[in-house]
Copies of this chain bind each other. A is one copy, B any other.
Amino acid sequence: MGLKRICGWIIRKKAIGRVVIIEVSSDRVKPYVVVLKEEREPELYAVGKELDVGTALCFEGEEAQEQKSVRGIEYVARKIEVYAKPIEPLPVDTMGKVPALLDTRIKYRWLLVRNPVEKAIFRVRSAMLAAAREYLSSNGFTEVQTPKIVAAGAEGGATLFRVQYFENEAYLSQSPQLFKQMLMAGFTRVYEITPYFRAEKYNTTRHLNESWGIDVEQGFINSLEDVLNTLENLVAYIIDYVSRNNAEELEVLGVNLRKPSTPFKRLRFQEAVDILRSEGIEVSDTEDLSDQAEKKLGEIMAEKGHDLYFIVGFPWSSTGFYYMREENGVYTRKFDLDYRGLEIASGGQREHRYERLVEALREKGLNPASFDFYLEAFKYGMPPHGGFGLGVERLLMRMLGLENVREAILFVRDRVRLVP
């Protein structure tokens, strides 16, 4: 046991007779319940009695021998130091008893993280990233950083944010795609944890305009299976890591998380189309699945016992220029990983043969000259490679059963939010 110093904010205060109970939110998810009795600690009781919810303080104390509170960890205090007092009543309930609208939760996220539920989400988020790094670095992936201000976008112009870069027009990077591929000329495996910037005008529960991803590229592959294996093992590792290391967070969130079994089901794109059509859903043979079709497929797969499943072999007409095409020319080695009807990752095997890549750019109506800096990297012994981008917010959303992707990021950038 011993004396411990804990700092945080009062999120609840209750006076019963000559006892004051204050609940202090610190970095741990469950609050510290400090019981102050006039009889036992008259000076601290006098201090505590006057403190408001929102007060920032540190206390020294030890865990109570008898833990009577169901709300948190009970402490007996020896010392209290007040660091700051609120100058206005709090605009939200940091206990979370009064549920706030999503809009309010987003606006006051920095304050609501005092609430055990909000804090739990962001502690799991940080654990997810630690897990991803642990898995990737122990599997030989080197961490890299690639530029966010770029001259050309991997996915084409429509969803690029424009940046004025001195006298030049530039863009914000949609993904590290082109750069991590170039690095396959000198590293066998790389990863980057990075922001994605996408100027999509969607206003849905699954889209953000600034989101984060775990971006991976792997060289010297023998087939797409090598990439699928890396991704399914990474996701299983993350989920397992959180289930082992974040029991308190999961308890507060009421989430029961279990390591998914691998391998995940592989569904050919055409199989997915057939399944959806047999359920009366209209699906195109040549376009990406709509959000609605993805959701429906998620329900069907869940019934068959598959929460996580790959859709492999998207048609060339629906993909970026850099995916490797099958010999028939119709399908590619692009895949999605879906988690209960939500695309959480996208990737594939890339075209690593220079001539075919130039051809692919032309077929997609892009000007190879704009991609010279990228094409150059395919001339000097570019091995077969593939990779993926795994969406941090979307994975977190599904792991924790959140309803809106906006609940999974501290500060939201969407169609209408540029502040805070």
Contact = CB atoms under 8 A, between A and B. Distances in A.
Interface in A350-389: 352, 354, 373-374, 376-377, 379-384
A143 B163 contact: no
Interface stretch (A60-68, A78-86, A328-336): A78-86
B411 A83 contact: no
A188 interface: yes
A140 B210 CA distance: 27
B113 A183 contact: yes
A87 interface: yes
Contacts of A380: 54, 86-88, 90-91, 111
A269 interface: no
A189 interface: yes
How many subunits of this chain does the assembly comprise?
A: 2
Nearest to A52: B381
Interface in A110-152: 110-114, 119, 122-123, 126, 129-130, 133, 137, 140, 142-151
Contact of A183 (B25, B144, B186, B410): B410
Contacts of A352: 84
Interface stretch (A97-105, A291-299, A306-314, A412-420): A412-420
A90 B354 CA distance: 15
B122 A144 contact: yes
Interface string A338-353: 0000000000000010
Contacts of A415: 166
